[in-house]
């Protein structure tokens, strides 16, 4: 079986990684979560 590693990054690291402004990254995260919740409620 494959070993999966769980890792976390900070918001600052994610901003640097994806080259987005702080507000736009938070907006995208909120939209992603809303889509996932909507899919689970169907």
Q: What is the pTM of this model?
A: 0.60
Per-residue pLDDT tens over the stretch 1-42: 466 677 888 888 888 888 888 899 899 989 999 999 888 887
* Beta-carbon count within 10 A of 7 CB: 5
Cα atoms in the 13 Å half-sphere on the side-chain side of 8: 2
CA 13, CA 15: separation in Å to the nearest integer? 5
The pLDDT assigned to 2 comes to 62
Q: pLDDT at position 35, please?
A: 93
Per-residue pLDDT at 19: 86
């Amino acid at each position: 079986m494959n070993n999966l590693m769980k890792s976390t990054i900070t918001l600052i690291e994610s901003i640097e990684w994806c080259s987005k402004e702080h507000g736009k990254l938070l907006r995208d995260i909120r939209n992603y979560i809303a889509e996932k919740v909507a899919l689970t409620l169907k």
